Amino acid sequence: MSLTILETSVQREPISQNQYRVFFRTQHGDRFSPVRAIDVSVIAFNDEPYKLAELLAIKYVLLHKTYVGMNRTGKGLQLNVSSGSIRKAQKLQTTNSDMHLHARFLQTRFAEATIKVGRRSDWIKAFNGEVEDISPNDCLDPPIKTHIGDIHLTRHAVERFCERMSICSIDKAWRRLSKMLTSSRWTIKRPQRPLREGKPNRTTETWALIRDNTPAIEIVIVRNPTVSRVVTVIA
């Protein structure tokens, strides 16, 4: 697979209150895309919110745009960023709660992406186009749509699936588990009762993925009114 590069650079000073401009371009082989720009509105309770703005811009480009392709994972992808905090967030080394929350896509689906911190930003001078405005609501993780509802995969669940199925990388495990949850070849058995009683409006359930004579793969889902997450896999 040929290498695709997404390069980003954020202006550290806000262009307006709580809004930061992030420039980006892509590279496929020797071909560079035009330089584009996104104005990201952030409300962060930590210092240096421009770092969160750059992370949200990357998330928006990878998950909601097609500049680097559709339905891809981190294999063959390199991110050249202007903030080292993004690389720390991917490696679970950040203490910034906002960065950790919004970097889950880098810890699962794009875990195999290489992240490098760039020092050059002269390329942003080539920008002469329109600017797109986005907010955190435009950057939400797309859920996996199944007949048991919309769900998200946590890194812990993907790691357990990776270990139990002897899959060589996190992003391959993410893709395989996602396909199993949506494939008509696998049946998701409805549990008779939750694994344990949860808090009000929240419950923990065990489901089984079954296919012909293949041993069942059990997943544990935590549900609440806003989001349901697969938190671990038992195989």
- How far is Cα 230 from Cα 222, in angstroms, rounded to an integer? 7
Local confidence band at 176 (pLDDT 50, 70, 90 cut-offs): very high
Averaged pLDDT, 80-93: 95
Q: How much is the pLDDT for 200?
A: 57
- How far is Cα 81 from Cα 22, in angstroms, rounded to an integer? 10
Residue 131 has pLDDT above 80, yes or no: yes
pLDDT, mean over the chain: 89
3-class SS of residue 2: coil
Local confidence band at 204 (pLDDT 50, 70, 90 cut-offs): confident
Percent of the chain predicted with pLDDT > 70: 93
HSE-up of residue 101 (Cα within 13 Å, Cβ side)? 10
Q: How much is the pLDDT for 208?
A: 86
3-class SS of residue 193: coil
The domain locations on the chain are 4-139, 144-234
Local confidence band at 178 (pLDDT 50, 70, 90 cut-offs): very high
CB 201 within 8 A of CB 180: no
pTM: 0.87
Q: For 101-114, how does the pLDDT look when each residue is reduced to its tens digit (9 = 90+)?
A: 899 999 999 999 99
Local confidence band at 90 (pLDDT 50, 70, 90 cut-offs): very high
Local confidence band at 193 (pLDDT 50, 70, 90 cut-offs): low
The number of angstroms, rounded, from the C-alpha of 201 to the middle of its chain's C-alpha atoms is: 26
135: left (phi over 0), alpha (psi -120 to 50) or beta: beta
Q: How much is the pLDDT for 71?
A: 85
Q: For 6-59, how does the pLDDT look when each residue is reduced to its tens digit (9 = 90+)?
A: 999 999 999 998 999 999 999 999 999 999 999 999 986 667 899 999 999 999
Token output for 75: 């294999």
Beta 149-153 vs 228-234: how paired, if at all? parallel
- How far is Cα 210 from Cα 232, in angstroms, rounded to an integer? 17
Least confident of 20-24, 37-41, 157-161, 187-191: 187-191
Amino acid (one-letter) located at 231: V
The number of angstroms, rounded, from the C-alpha of 107 to the middle of its chain's C-alpha atoms is: 7
Residue 132 has pLDDT above 70, yes or no: yes
Averaged pLDDT, 157-181: 92
- How far is Cα 85 from Cα 100, in angstroms, rounded to an integer? 10
User: What class has domain 4-139?
Assistant: alpha beta
Q: How much is the pLDDT for 226?
A: 76
